[in-house]
């Protein structure tokens, strides 16, 4: 196999003690990039597997390409085998409450004494400081970090419709691991990485903080913001359909007016420049909405696509399984569900939004069943068949 067919982190072993979204996202990224990621689960499996409602998709989305070992770490035998496993790791990833790993002797300060090359990434609610004792959730930091304020209407904060801080916090954790692996190549030493929800959220709203710094005016929530562009809105058209349309340059304004025959609008000297049109939004947008009301979304889509104008259908997440672009470009990969009411059924899952050597980073392993690779991993650690059987019968592993 040529070098270009190798994934970049082949040969790197990650042992993760994670649940929910943030930590698993970090592990998924490293696994997609070729690392061997071993998920250490409780004897009865990660409770994330059995969440309902909006949590039902967490486990299958963020745990592909991983192996699973299920072990009771509250038993001396279980903790011993986990420590043996940890001793083989390049990277440890965890997202438990502060102090949890230290009680088990699995914190960075303890482990680095016997493995100076270890890279240890902790995913927390807050970086060290006055808030770090608090319990954080994605919605908590969205509320206290300005994102919910920016998303909802005025006086009605609204969380974003995805676990944006959990996911991005995991992404930054993975970036930290990648940087630490590179630094280890240069220095021979590992290090501890910390990634957090709150600071991630502040990074996301940094553009609005800088808007205030530059203009002296506080940013308004998105539903009532002053747009940077005149036409940048959702329009209701024929048959009650909705479509997002944007005209963000003076060149696009000319094209827009030409293709729809809005000669009078283009001739208006008060609408020549984008900033003029932004100031005219209170009257311009209602006028455009009235003129487009007779067109179907399909007709507008064809016109905008043909003329290179920005547009978007209003799509629900479940409709993306049939998105022609994702299907044609390999953006969705097949997996088998391991938990929930549809366990064993086939579906597809979104891949990371990047290509390497012209290829998407695919699914090599389905999200694992709890303890699916327990015996394989114990065998690698030197446990005999009889020892494995005893650990299983004693309820130490599953």
Q: What is the DSSP string of 66-108?
A: EEEEEB-TTSHHHHHHHHHHHTT-SEEEE-PPTTHHHHTT-SH
Token pair for 113: 């004494």
Looking at 166, 250, 258, 339, which residue is catalytic? 166
Residue found by looking up tokens 């959990």 in the block: 166
Identify the pLDDT of residue 2. Answer: 46
Strand-pair partners of 195: 123
pLDDT tens-digit map of 176-218: 999 999 999 999 999 999 999 999 999 999 999 999 999 999 9
pLDDT tens-digit map of 72-108: 999 999 999 999 999 999 999 999 998 999 999 999 9
Cα separation, 193 vs 174, in Å, equals: 9
Identify the pLDDT of residue 51. Answer: 96
pLDDT tens-digit map of 313-367: 999 999 999 999 999 999 999 999 999 999 999 999 999 999 999 999 999 999 9
Cα separation, 75 vs 146, in Å, equals: 43
Identify the pLDDT of residue 3. Answer: 57
**Number of other residues whose CB lies within 10 A of the CB of residue 87:** 13
Cα separation, 204 vs 163, in Å, equals: 13
Q: What is the DSSP string of 147-183?
A: HHHHHSSTT-----SS-HHHHHHHHHHHHHHHHHHHH
pLDDT tens-digit map of 111-129: 999 999 999 999 999 999 9
Helix/strand/coil for 39:
strand
pLDDT tens-digit map of 2-51: 456 799 999 999 999 999 999 999 999 999 999 999 999 999 999 999 99
Label residue 127 exposed, middle or buried (CB < 10 Å: 0-12, 13-18, 19+). middle
Q: What domains sit in the chain, N to C, each tagged with a CATH number?
A: 3-204+323-393 (3.40.50.10540), 227-313 (3.30.1540.10)
Handedness of CA 99, 100, 103, 104 (dihedral sign): negative
Strand-pair partners of 355: 360
Identify the pLDDT of residue 225. Answer: 78
Helix/strand/coil for 11:
coil
Identify the pLDDT of residue 4. Answer: 64
Q: Which of 137-141, 171-175, 186-190, 218-222 has the lowest mean pLDDT?
A: 218-222
Residue 166 appears among annotated catalytic residues: yes
Residues 6+ apart with CB under 8 A from 393: none
pLDDT tens-digit map of 247-279: 999 999 999 999 999 999 999 999 999 999 999
12, 38 contact by CB (below 8 A): no
125, 140 contact by CB (below 8 A): yes
Of 208, 248, 207, the C-alpha closest to 231 is 248
pLDDT tens-digit map of 267-312: 999 999 999 999 999 999 999 999 999 999 999 999 999 999 999 9
Q: Across the chain, what does the average pLDDT equal?
A: 96
In Å, the largest CA–CA distance within the chain is 87
Residue found by looking up tokens 């729809």 in the block: 260
Cα separation, 230 vs 144, in Å, equals: 31
Band (227; pLDDT cuts 50, 70, 90)? confident
Cα separation, 347 vs 262, in Å, equals: 46
Token pair for 334: 């097949």
Cα separation, 339 vs 370, in Å, equals: 9
């Amino acid at each position: 196999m040529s070098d270009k067919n190798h994934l970049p982190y082949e040969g790197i072993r990650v042992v993760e003690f994670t649940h929910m979204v943030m930590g698993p996202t970090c592990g998924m990224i490293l696994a997609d990039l070729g690392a061997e990621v071993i998920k250490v689960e409780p004897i009865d499996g990660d409770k994330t597997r059995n969440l309902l409602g909006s949590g039902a998709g967490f486990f299958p989305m963020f745990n592909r390409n991983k192996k699973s070992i299920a072990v009771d770490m509250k038993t001396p035998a279980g903790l011993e085998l986990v420590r043996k496993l940890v001793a083989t790791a390049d990277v440890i990833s965890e997202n438990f409450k502060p102090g949890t790993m230290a009680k088990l002797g699995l914190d960075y300060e303890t482990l680095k004494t016997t493995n100076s090359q270890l890279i240890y990434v902790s995913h927390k609610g807050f970086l060290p400081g006055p808030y770090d004792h608090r319990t954080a959730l994605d919605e908590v930091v969205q509320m206290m970090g300005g994102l919910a304020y920016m998303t909802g209407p005025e006086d009605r904060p609204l969380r974003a419709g995805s676990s944006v801080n959990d996911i991005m916090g995991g992404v930054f954790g993975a970036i930290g691991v990648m940087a630490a692996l590179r630094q280890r190549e240069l220095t021979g030493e590992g290090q501890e990485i910390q990634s957090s929800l709150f600071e991630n959220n502040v990074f996301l709203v940094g553009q609005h903080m800088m808007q205030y710094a530059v203009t002296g005016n506080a940013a308004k929530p998105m539903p009532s913001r002053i747009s940077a562009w005149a036409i940048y809105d959702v329009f209701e058209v024929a048959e009650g359909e909705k479509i997002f349309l944007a005209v963000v340059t003076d060149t696009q304004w000319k094209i827009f007016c030409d293709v729809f025959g809005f000669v009078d609008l283009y001739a208006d000297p008060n609408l020549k420049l984008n900033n003029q049109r932004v100031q005219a939004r209170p009257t311009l947008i209602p006028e455009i909405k009235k003129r487009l009301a007779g067109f179907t979304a399909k007709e507008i889509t064809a016109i905008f696509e043909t003329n290179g104008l920005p547009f978007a259908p209003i799509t629900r997440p479940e409709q993306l399984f049939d998105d022609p672009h994702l299907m044609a470009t390999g953006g969705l990969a097949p997996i088998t569900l391991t938990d929930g009411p549809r366990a064993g059924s086939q579906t597809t899952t979104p891949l990371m939004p990047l290509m390497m050597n012209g290829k998407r980073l695919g699914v090599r392993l389905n999200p694992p069943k709890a303890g699916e690779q327990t015996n394989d991993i114990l065998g690698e650690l030197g446990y005999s068949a009889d020892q494995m059987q005893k650990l299983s019968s004693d309820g130490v592993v599953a």
